[in-house]
Amino acid sequence: MTDECEACADRETGEDDREERGEGDGDHDAHDHVLPLENLRYPEFVFEEGDIAADGSFDLGADLDREGMADWLSDLAGGMASHDVAVESPEGYVTFGVGASGVRMSFDPGEDGIGDLEVTFELRAKPMFVADDPEKPKVGARGGKGFVPVEMLTTDRETFRCYNWLDD
């Protein structure tokens, strides 16, 4: 176990009793990676049509106006900070643990000088919860019920950010 992950666990449960257990000063705010509760955001990006497969894969799109796009970008920024985003369609739902991978931008103007400025954010992601019905109960921060990655229980891997506090 690491203090870093214990701090995450304490923050997520709203408890910090490490000092009572003699395991540190109880000050999880001293860890750089810990977000204050008010900064934790778990955005859900909702699409009006399309499927989400059992493995969490999809290819969805939406037309957004200026305000809608600004809202989505703000939500994406919050999801990046919280390491968590979800995607919903009428045919499915998937929650991802996410990290940064890269960004691409392109612009190819027509003869009139006008074109589409394309911005693509690439996130390294792992599906944490997939459902074929978005109305089914959700787990994790959105459902008020926690979850543990299967790999945490089935492999010897020791690097599970915010899960290392779990005992066998």
- Residue-wise pLDDT for 16-26, tens only, equals 444 443 444 44
pLDDT, one tens digit per residue, over 48-81 is 999 999 999 999 999 999 999 999 999 999 998 8
Task: Specify the range with the lowest mean pLDDT, choosing from 18-32, 99-113, 151-165.
Answer: 18-32
Amino acid at 42: Y
Q: Is the pLDDT of residue 89 over 80?
A: yes
What Å distances lie between residue 122 and 16, 31, 98, 99, CA to CA? Answer: 35, 27, 10, 9
pLDDT number for residue 36 = 75
Is residue 50 left, alpha or beta, with left meaning phi > 0 and alpha meaning psi from -120 to 50?
left
Q: Are 44 and 88 in contact (CB under 8 A)?
A: yes
> Which string of DSSP letters, residue by residue, matches 92-110?
EEEEEEEEEEEEEEEE---
Beta carbons of 122 and 102 less than 8 angstroms apart: yes
The confidence score (pLDDT) of residue 19 equals 44
What's the sign of the alpha-carbon dihedral 45, 46, 47, 49? positive
Stretch 134-153: mean pLDDT:
65
